[in-house]
Amino acid sequence: MTRPELSAAIRDLPEDEKLDLLSELWDALDHSAPVPEWHKEELDARLASANAESFTPWSEAKARILGSK
């Protein structure tokens, strides 16, 4: 399967299957690769400005997203 064919197949998936695929892809990444300094700086800036009360745990957010179909 070519990359354009794969992209087309992914676009045709139902949203819940796209989310599952995204999760699998994330798990397949090499998480030992070095993190660029600008990523660390951006994360620090976002954490500093974040309102913890506005966050929803991923398990709840995913259930809400998948339940809305």
Q: Cβ distance 16 to 62 under 8 Å?
A: no
Residue-level pLDDT at 50: 84
Q: Cβ distance 11 to 3 under 8 Å?
A: no
Residue-level pLDDT at 33: 86
| Cα angle: 47, vertex 49, 53; to 5 degrees | 80
Residue-level pLDDT at 69: 55
Higher pLDDT, 36 or 33: 36
In this prediction, residues 26-36 reach a mean pLDDT of 89
Q: Tell me: the pLDDT tens digits for 34-63?
A: 989 999 999 999 988 888 788 889 999 999
